[in-house]
Amino acid sequence: MMPQARRRLNRTVIFLALVVVAVLMLFPFVFMILIANQSYDQYLAGSGFSLDSWRQLFAALPVLQELLNSSIVTGGAVLIILVVSSMGGFAFAKLGYPGGSVVFLLLLAGMMVPVQSIVIPEFVNISQVGLINQYPGAILVYAALGAPFATYLMTTYYRGIPTELMEASLMDGASYPQIFVRVMLPLSVPAIVTITVLQFIQIWDDLLIGLLFLQTPETRTITVGLATLQSGRMVNIPVLMAGSLASALPAIIVYLIFQRHLVRGLTMGIGK
């Protein structure tokens, strides 16, 4: 009975700890929802309910256009990252070629470089080809920043797939492109979903790249639009909370939809 009582106690302690962590994590989100549904006077008074902050938000910013811009930039960048990382991971993990280990180490070294140290050279390069304030410029920068980690994750995942599957496919007369498309990609769905969710959240919530490469009202993302709300001397907190809530909901929805695949991809990919 003692081991059972000890296990029950451990589970209770872990459950209570998780409850405390959940409360701490959810409190800012609940606070944001409450403040977003108040007018400025109600916010100062500390109580009340009103949709006035939402009306002011849509009057101050083209919210729908900025959400569309964020969707285009995020979707384009994630698509490029998936294509590059899946092909690169397959090459690193299953196709032996001279210098592959050195290239992979250089890829890992590139992950250690701070974004702030390369953003100015990137801005110069993108401006020289005339892609500032255009979707392709920001998409290429986001894809370049996200591809190293995604390639590393796909490489570790592909290494966990038995090589015998590829050898059997070669024996059946399949080419390497056919093996990649018909065998490896279907088996790597958890890793692909993991990369999609992680990169979507990171790119959607990013401010630095969008602020530098998408500065016009027609192309700026929702995070950049929210930054303009704070440019005045007086910040309307309920309006800012409403905009933050509108910006956070897409990322939250994507995470909730794919959370099981995300956990599976992390455990099966990195764990192997």
Burial 233-269 (b: 16+ CB within 10 A, else e): eeebebbbbbbbbbbbebbeebeeebeebbebbbebb
Amino acid at 215: Q
Tens-place pLDDT, residues 27-82? 888 888 999 999 888 888 888 888 899 998 998 889 899 999 999 999 999 999 99
Residue with token string 């939250």 = 252
pLDDT-derived band at 163, boundaries 50, 70, 90: confident
CA distance 74 to 240: 22
Give the torsion sign (CA, 53, 57, 58, 64).
Answer: negative
Burial 2-38 (b: 16+ CB within 10 A, else e): eeeeeeeeeeeeeeeeeeeeeeeeeeeeeebeebbbb
Amino acid at 78: V
Q: What is the pLDDT of residue 204?
A: 93
Q: Give the pTM.
A: 0.85
Tens-place pLDDT, residues 214-269? 988 889 999 998 888 776 656 788 898 999 898 888 888 888 887 776 666 666 54
CA distance 199 to 192: 11
Main-chain dihedrals φ then ψ at residue 268, nearest 5 degrees:
-80, -30
| DSSP per position, 43-62 | HHHT----SHHHHHHHHHS-
Main-chain dihedrals φ then ψ at residue 66, nearest 5 degrees:
-70, -35
CA distance 198 to 269: 14
Give mean pLDDT, residues 101-119.
84
Q: Is the pLDDT of residue 86 over 90?
A: yes
Cα 160 to the center of its chain, rounded Å:
24
Q: What is the pLDDT of residue 266?
A: 60
Q: How many residues does the chain have?
A: 272
pLDDT-derived band at 83, boundaries 50, 70, 90: very high
